[in-house]
Structure 1
Amino acid sequence: MSSIDVFNLFRGFPSRPAKGFADLFPTRFNGRMSSVPIRGAVLDLGSNTFKLLLAEQAGGVLRITHEKAYPVRLGEGVAVTGRLQSTAVRRALKMLFFLQKIISSFGPSKVVAVGTGALRRARNRKTFLQPAAKILRQPVVMLSGLEEGRLIALAARSLSRPPRPRYHLDLGGGSLEVIDSQNPKKPKIQSLDLGCVAVRDTLLSRQPPSPDEWMRARGKIESALRKLPRPNRSAQATFTGGTGHAYACLLRKKNVKARRLENLPIRRAELIRLILQLLPLSPKKIARLPGMPEDRATVALPAFLVLDEAIQRLRLSKIRISTHGLRYGIWLAYLAKAPVRTIVR
């Protein structure tokens, strides 16, 4: 019996665009190349990590000064309780103080900070947003699932190598965004509560799971993904999120810089092999695997499961990693004065 056969035995509606987002950050390029450089900072306050991008753009060249994901786990427990945990808020605010110092030393002319999945879901989000606004000296803008997907799609379509993909998937801690760009002018965007932290907390809180728990988790994820129409034939697809980095590090059994993973294919056969490797292990044992990123140990299994189920649903044999996620979409939509032609790191 093949490994795939063994594995098979284990068997949000679109929201409105973020209110006030365009009013706060109205910059858009008009097709003309601007020679005036702009220094900007983008801060993506995600459910599992805070991602910071510091860059300067002159004409069509975007020069990256700093780009890093910082583990925070702000969304820990939100999928179960609907509330941010006090320890997570304190941890996140401490990190925000640190990041604000980095931003200030860079001296950007514009800063855009956005909140996503966990903050959308948390009823007590103000316990984080209000002190965060004081630290950053400006409000954090909440993105709806639809607006988040639109910005991710903008980055994927604008910065991916040809051929441009029909699908783009972004797996965060709180949600999974799936963008179908069969009609590029009117992409279909779905935001699903299938982030790796949310799935871990609600469906796979005990690791390793029992066979019944595993089958139930697969069934719930498969059911949620039925909102996505199945294509008639295979299509090109790209993927963003820390899960791609974990996949590459585990395959190569060493840490790999995320920026070197552009266009790396995630193949389903390899993904299944990794799932079977992780399935009987505790998070402590997973953390000790060669190459395993420390901050991904507790979410790697649920993340790989969600990705595999999505690949099956969309009839994909593989999906290519893109290093241009939400933060690049924000840059393109609200900071860039000209289309980005070249990225220099």
Structure 2
Amino acid sequence: LKIEKFGFKSHFVGNHLGQNNISYYSAWLRDMRIAVIDMGTNTFNLLIAEYSDHSFHIMYSDKQAVKLGQRIAEQHFIDDEGIKRILTTLSQYKEKIKQYLVDEVIAIATSSIRTAKNQEQVVKLIRDRLDIDVKVINGEREAELIYIANQYAIRQCVKSEDVPVLIMDIGGGSTEFIIADGTSALWKKSFLIGMARLIDEIRPKDPVNLDDIHRIHSYLDNMLDSLKRQMSKYLPKVLVGSSGVFDSIVEMIDANVRPLTRNEKCCLIDKNDFSCIYHQILPLSYAERLKYKGLIEMRADMIVVSMILIDYVIQKYGVQKLVVSFYSLKEGVIVEKIMENKKD
């Protein structure tokens, strides 16, 4: 997205400074301002923040449901309706970015676009229509940015004796797992078991039944074989849930079980509290889930399979502690910028 650097000379010739000129001048005195667009399978996220050499401050964030998952899972193709939703959402984001006088825009596309047969056409159309350059990243890079974000976020919630930890980021098109200690990622991988793909593969009933759960477990046993080997090697007992659906888990526990203590980056979750909402959510139909306190509409369709996946990991690998990180890929982009500036 091409945004001019505020035309210093043309705005400051003469003695008169209008309100717009004052705004432009202020922009030169503040920290760098960045906008990150995370283009996921079901949700697009916009994060606008100012960052310095040591930290960043979130100025604005938004998420919009784009629901690209169904055609991607079935045909690896983004249809005309999906493209329309993409352009509408990005057009809204572009207007918001202009309002905040952003210095740099980074737009990142993940599973849905990287696996689409018409990836190049979609990226070109976005560039031609909106002047936004989209970078399509692979699963390895996606997992790396998720790791960077969560390593930064969980310091207040994870003690030195808790490492290594298993970081988990559940998406519509893919799910990332990272095993990390206090200083590095020991292992990371992106799996094509996003919740849209999982629903398309299993086609569970509404509400889900025991047979559906057994079939999901069998599917996960087959798809996550390499995770099983790494878990046996490193034996992490702390699960770090990376934003997204885990944010909803925090809100649901807070609204239906008990108030939670949290900070701006992370939150400790009692496994019994998770189990409580897990057993409350499972028997509910989609219509009933829409009325469940703490659950936003855009996650009501996939919350059941997401929670089955989380419970599967907790039970299969003997997770003893659950931490929710409020950071994910988009924050990882900003943290990486801070790290790069320190090197310079």
TM-score of the alignment, normalized to the shorter chain, above 0.5: yes
Indicate the structure whose relative CO is greater, using CA pairs within 8 Å and at least 6 residues apart: 1
Q: Is the 8 A contact 2:51 2:338 kept in 1?
A: no
Aligned to 1:122: 116
Q: Is the 8 A contact 1:146 1:191 kept in 2?
A: yes
Aligned to 2:214: 215
- Cα distance in 2, alignment partners of residues 308 and 77 from structure 1: 27
Q: CA RMSD in A?
A: 2.7
**Can you list the C-alpha shifts for 1:125-145, whole angstroms capped at 9, x where unaligned?**
234322222344232111110
Instruction: Kindly report which structure 2 residues correspond to 1:322-341, keeping only aligned pairs within 5 A, or say none.
Output: 322-334=325-337, 338=341
Greater Rg over alpha carbons, structure: 2
- Cα distance in 2, alignment partners of residues 247 and 183 from structure 1: 25
**Can you list the C-alpha shifts for 1:132-182, whole angstroms capped at 9, x where unaligned?**
223442321111100111111112223321536522111111111111124
**Can you list the C-alpha shifts for 1:71-96, whole angstroms capped at 9, x where unaligned?**
22122331222222332221121111
Q: Is the 8 A contact 1:49 1:73 kept in 2?
A: yes
- Cα distance in 1, alignment partners of residues 148 and 31 from structure 2: 22
Partner of 1:273, secondary structure, is helix
- Cα distance in 2, alignment partners of residues 293 and 186 from structure 1: 32
Q: Is the 8 A contact 2:36 2:105 kept in 1?
A: yes
User: Do residues 113 (structure 1) and 107 (structure 2) align?
Assistant: yes
Q: Point out the structure with the larger helix share.
A: 2
**Can you list the C-alpha shifts for 1:12-36, whole angstroms capped at 9, x where unaligned?**
xxxxxxxxxxxxxxxxxxxxxxx97
Partner of 1:333, secondary structure, is helix
Q: Which runs of 5+ in 1 are unaligned?
A: 1-34, 340-345
Q: Tell me how far 1:46 sits from its aligned partner.
A: 0.8
Q: Is the 8 A contact 1:96 1:135 kept in 2?
A: no
Aligned to 2:78: 84
- 291 and 138 in structure 1: CA distance in 2 versus 1, 3 angstrom threshold: closer
Aligned to 1:174: 173
Q: Tell me how far 1:266 sits from its aligned partner.
A: 3.5
Aligned to 2:90: 96
- 124 and 335 in structure 1: CA distance in 2 versus 1, 3 angstrom threshold: farther
Instruction: Kindly report which structure 2 residues correspond to 1:130-145, keeping only aligned pairs within 5 A, or say none.
Output: 130-145=124-139
Q: Is the 8 A contact 2:172 2:197 kept in 1?
A: yes
Aligned to 2:69: 75
Q: Tell me how far 1:331 sits from its aligned partner.
A: 1.4
Count of residues in Structure 1 that have an aligned counterpart in Structure 2: 304
Partner of 2:172, secondary structure, is coil
Aligned to 1:249: 251
Aligned to 2:275: 272
Aligned to 2:286: 283
Aligned to 1:319: 322
- Cα distance in 1, alignment partners of residues 56 and 182 from structure 2: 28
- Cα distance in 2, alignment partners of residues 160 and 242 from structure 1: 15
Partner of 1:230, secondary structure, is helix
Percent pairwise identity: 23
Q: Is the 8 A contact 1:208 1:280 kept in 2?
A: yes
Q: State the TM-score, normalized to the length of structure 1.
A: 0.79
Aligned to 2:11: none
Partner of 1:47, secondary structure, is coil
Q: Is the 8 A contact 1:53 1:67 kept in 2?
A: yes
Partner of 2:252, secondary structure, is helix
User: Do residues 196 (structure 1) and 195 (structure 2) align?
Assistant: yes
Aligned to 1:230: 231
- Cα distance in 1, alignment partners of residues 123 and 204 from structure 2: 27
